């Protein structure tokens, strides 16, 4: 086991901060403490002249202050340390928590703070315990503060300690110590005599009328005269909540002061707030009257976010189902209508569908229906539009387009060509001179071209039977059969379905006009009309009845530009 300076056995290292290391040690018999006593040893790393001078100032302050917990302090080359023992007493934090403190203890604590400040130490540099009314220093850390800084810090630390009740110390044997007791005895005797007189012969007074008054005002009036008051609950639908509806004894009765008067307070049973949302103001008044409630303040808000028509309730306070007393009021938020902008629909007739749809979108409208009609115009050319051209409509309104469809033409069937027989070749022979001779009987005139003759097929050799000309049978080419290709069957239309839509607007949504559209196989349409972004920051747009067909997606537009997209 390691030892320090040959006389302290190191048990463990407690902490290390800067150039100071704190150990728990056990003292030897000749170490200035009892043999085997557990001590706290602060070892200082001193390597420079400044560090050595600082420790010598610290050692001088310890000797001047003479802390109760200091067991030993050593300053020699290679060994700079201070040894501390435990000091019994009440910790300063526990002393501060006491509800009542002795004046003497506070005075002694201030004196100790002044002594520490004179050497550059503040109260928080020392571990202080209270031994009765005497503060003792159990441990002191080195400090580099000036006396002024230490005094300022100690004053701040003493402020919360001095708060609370202080028990003053009076000199013993002083005649003034008897004065409070004598005064209390005299006062008790006087007030006892007065109380006895009032109890045995109380004064009489007329009971005032407090019916219809608020219970607090009525009780204050009666207790001001000298009566005692108790309460019971009652129910009177014609009286205000909390009003006095009966009193006992009755008004005008003569009653001794100090007697008890019973007041019956109007406190009807609780009611459940009905649902008022989507109702008109007249319907709300009727519903509240049926439930014995009152109409409170009414405020108007834009109904665009909740899609609430003008004049109907958007929200209420208290909420539906809340429990309140009869006669209480319900506050309302009434829709001022769905504020929309209007735009002009241009003339789309004769335009291709893509161009027409772009113009509709730029106008803030939505193509939600497309119809086909046979026409001689180019395919997908706009024939008609609803609303009509140059109509003034609300932004987000639907537009129906009638597009041209090529009239029906039967498929062309290719007729295979008829077979053409080959040109017959005459049987031509040549004589000895090289002249062509036709047939077996002779040749035509010189220079004449023999006519093409059909081939003959004899019946048989040596037969005198007439011969029948047999034309050569040509081998026709196999006709190429062209089977018309039927038009592709039109696929069945995808059925519509209902999907939910939920979108939370960010709290930092930029300024402008915001709308939400859905795009599917039927085109594009608005499901949240254009609304000022200031009303939507941090809000949640939610619908459970969006009808779509095929693939779909939602788009959030800010000032006509895509701000965000979301979908399934």
Could you write out the DSSP letters of every residue in 266-296? E-PPEEEPPP-TT-BHHHHHHHHHHTT-EEE
Could you write out the DSSP letters of every residue in 210-239? -TTSBHHHHHHHHHHHT-EEEEEEE--TTS
- Which H/E stretch holds residue 355? helix 353-362
Q: What end-to-end distance do the CA atoms of the chain give, in Å?
A: 73
Which residues is 460 bridged to in the sheet? none
Q: Is residue 511 part of a domain?
A: yes
Dihedral sign computed on CA atoms, order 226, 229, 234, 239: positive
Q: Are residues 134 and 250 in the same domain?
A: no
The CATH number of the domain holding residue 552 is 2.60.40
Give the pairing type, strands 428-430 and 436-438: antiparallel
Give the separation between CA 501 and CA 179, rounded to whole angstroms.
84
Give the separation between CA 118 and CA 187, rounded to whole angstroms.
50
The CATH number of the domain holding residue 241 is 3.30.10.20
Q: Are residues 18 and 61 in the same domain?
A: yes
Contacts of 361 (CB under 8 A, 6+ apart): 524
Q: Are residues 289 and 397 in the same domain?
A: no
pLDDT in tens, 310-322: 889 999 999 999 9
Q: Is residue 245 part of a domain?
A: yes
pLDDT in tens, 24-75: 888 876 555 565 678 888 899 888 888 888 898 888 988 888 898 888 898 8
Q: Is residue 231 part of a domain?
A: yes
Q: Are residues 128 and 20 in the same domain?
A: yes
Q: Are residues 402 and 540 in the same domain?
A: no
Q: Are residues 158 and 32 in the same domain?
A: yes
Give the separation between CA 24 and CA 12, rounded to whole angstroms.
5
> What is the reported pTM?
0.33
State the pLDDT at residue 433.
60
Comparing CA positions, the residue from 98, 175, 87, 100 lying closest to residue 127 is 87
Q: Is residue 475 part of a domain?
A: no
Residue in the block written with tokens 């295979």: 416
The pair of three-digit structure tokens given for residue 259, joined into one six-digit string: 């007697």
State the pLDDT at residue 278.
87
Q: Domain count of the chain? A: 5
Q: Are residues 156 and 239 in the same domain?
A: no
Give the separation between CA 411 and CA 429, rounded to whole angstroms.
55
Q: Is residue 32 part of a domain?
A: yes
Percent of the chain with pLDDT over 70: 80
Asked whether 303 and 309 are in contact (CB, 8 A), the reply is yes
Q: Are residues 93 and 215 in the same domain?
A: no
Q: Which strands, in side-by-side order, build the sheet including 228-234?
A: 228-234, 260-266, 244-248
CA–centroid distance for 390 within its chain: 44
Contacts of 133 (CB under 8 A, 6+ apart): 102, 104, 105, 108
Q: Is residue 523 part of a domain?
A: yes
Q: What length does the chain have?
A: 568
**Of the residues 363, 381, 406, which one is the last residue of a structural domain?**
406
Q: Is residue 455 part of a domain?
A: no
Q: Are residues 26 and 104 in the same domain?
A: yes
Q: Are residues 154 and 40 in the same domain?
A: yes
State the pLDDT at residue 493.
67
The pair of three-digit structure tokens given for residue 200, joined into one six-digit string: 């045995």
The pair of three-digit structure tokens given for residue 21, joined into one six-digit string: 């290391």
Q: Are residues 252 and 286 in the same domain?
A: no
Comparing CA positions, the residue from 266, 290, 271 lying closest to residue 279 is 290
Mean pLDDT in runs of 10 for the chain (568 residues)? 81 85 80 68 89 89 88 87 89 84 86 89 88 88 87 85 75 63 84 72 83 91 90 85 89 84 88 90 92 90 78 92 87 83 88 93 88 90 93 87 78 56 57 54 44 42 43 46 42 78 91 92 90 90 88 91 87
State the pLDDT at residue 470.
42
Comparing CA positions, the residue from 277, 279, 274, 245 lying closest to residue 262 is 245
Give the pairing type, strands 244-248 and 100-102: unpaired
The pair of three-digit structure tokens given for residue 339, joined into one six-digit string: 């504020």
482-492 per-residue burial string, b: 16 or more CB within 10 A, e: under 16: eeeeeeeeeee
Comparing CA positions, the residue from 500, 496, 512 lying closest to residue 557 is 512
Asked whether 406 and 381 are in contact (CB, 8 A), the reply is no
Q: Are residues 58 and 126 in the same domain?
A: yes
State the pLDDT at residue 276.
92
Q: Is residue 175 part of a domain?
A: no
pLDDT in tens, 269-280: 888 999 998 899
567-to-81, 316, 502, 564 alpha-carbon distances in Å: 74, 33, 10, 10
89-113 per-residue burial string, b: 16 or more CB within 10 A, e: under 16: bbebeebbeeeebbeebbebbbebb
Phi, psi angles (nearest 5°) of residue 252? 90, -10
- The range of the structural domain enclosing residue 325 comes to 272-335
Residue in the block written with tokens 């201030």: 110
State the pLDDT at residue 495.
84
CA–centroid distance for 72 within its chain: 63
The CATH number of the domain holding residue 131 is 3.30.200.20
State the pLDDT at residue 285.
93
């Amino acid at each position: 086991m390691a030892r320090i300076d040959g006389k302290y056995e190191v048990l463990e290292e407690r902490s290390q901060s800067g150039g100071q290391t704190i150990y728990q040690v056990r003292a030897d018999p000749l170490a200035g403490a009892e043999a085997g006593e557990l001590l706290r040893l602060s070892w200082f790393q001193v390597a420079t002249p400044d560090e050595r001078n600082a420790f010598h100032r610290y050692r001088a302050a310890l000797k001047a202050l003479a802390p109760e917990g200091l067991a030993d302090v050593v300053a020699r080359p290679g060994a700079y340390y201070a040894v501390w023992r435990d000091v019994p007493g009440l910790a300063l934090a526990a002393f501060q928590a006491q509800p009542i403190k002795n004046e003497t203890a506070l005075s002694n604590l201030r004196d100790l703070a002044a002594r520490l400040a004179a050497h550059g130490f503040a109260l928080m540099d020392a571990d202080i315990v209270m031994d009765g009314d005497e503060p003792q220093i159990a441990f002191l850390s080195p400090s580099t503060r000036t006396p002024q800084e230490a005094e300022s810090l100690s004053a701040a630390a003493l402020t919360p300690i001095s708060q609370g009740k202080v028990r003053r110390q009076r000199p013993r044997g002083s005649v003034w110590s008897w004065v409070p007791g004598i005064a209390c005895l005299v006062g008790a005797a006087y007030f006892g005599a007065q109380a006895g007189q009032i109890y045995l012969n109380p004064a009489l007074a007329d009971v005032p009328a407090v019916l219809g008054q608020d219970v607090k005002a009525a009780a204050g009036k009666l207790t001001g005269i000298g009566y005692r008051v108790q309460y019971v609950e009652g129910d009177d639908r014609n009286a205000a909540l909390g009003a006095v509806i009966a009193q006992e004894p009755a008004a005008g009765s003569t009653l001794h002061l100090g007697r008890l008067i019973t007041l019956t307070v109007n406190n009807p049973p609780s009611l459940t707030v009905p649902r008022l949302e989507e109702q008109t103001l007249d319907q709300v008044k009727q519903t509240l009257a049926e439930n014995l409630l009152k109409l409170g303040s009414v405020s108007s808000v834009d109904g665009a976010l909740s899609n609430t028509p003008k004049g109907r309730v958007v929200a209420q306070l208290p909420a539906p189902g809340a429990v309140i007393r009869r006669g209480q009021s319900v506050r309302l938020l009434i829709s001022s209508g769905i504020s929309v902008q209007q735009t002009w629909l241009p003339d789309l007739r004769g335009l291709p569908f893509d161009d027409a749809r772009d113009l509709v979108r730029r106008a803030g409208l939505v193509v939600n229906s497309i119809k086909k009609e046979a026409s001689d115009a180019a395919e997908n050319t706009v024939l008609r539009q609803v609303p009509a051209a140059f109509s003034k409509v609300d932004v987000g309104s639907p537009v129906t387009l009638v597009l041209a469809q090529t009239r029906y033409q039967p498929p062309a069937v290719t007729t295979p060509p008829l077979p053409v027989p080959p040109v017959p070749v005459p049987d031509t022979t040549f004589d000895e001179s090289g002249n062509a001779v036709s047939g077996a009987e002779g040749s035509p005139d010189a220079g004449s071209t023999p006519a093409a003759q059909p081939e003959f097929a004899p019946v048989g050799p040596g037969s005198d039977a007439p011969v029948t000309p047999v034309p050569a049978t040509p081998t026709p080419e196999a006709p190429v059969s062209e089977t018309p290709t039927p038009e592709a069957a039109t696929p069945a239309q995808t059925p519509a379905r209902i999907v939910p839509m939920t979108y939370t607007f960010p709290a930092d949504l930029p300024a402008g006009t915001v709308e939400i559209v859905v795009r599917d196989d039927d085109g594009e349409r608005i499901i949240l009309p254009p609304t000022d972004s200031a009303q939507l920051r941090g809000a949640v747009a939610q619908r459970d009845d969006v009808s779509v067909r095929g693939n779909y997606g939602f788009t959030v537009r800010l000032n006509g530009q895509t701000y965000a997209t979301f979908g399934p």
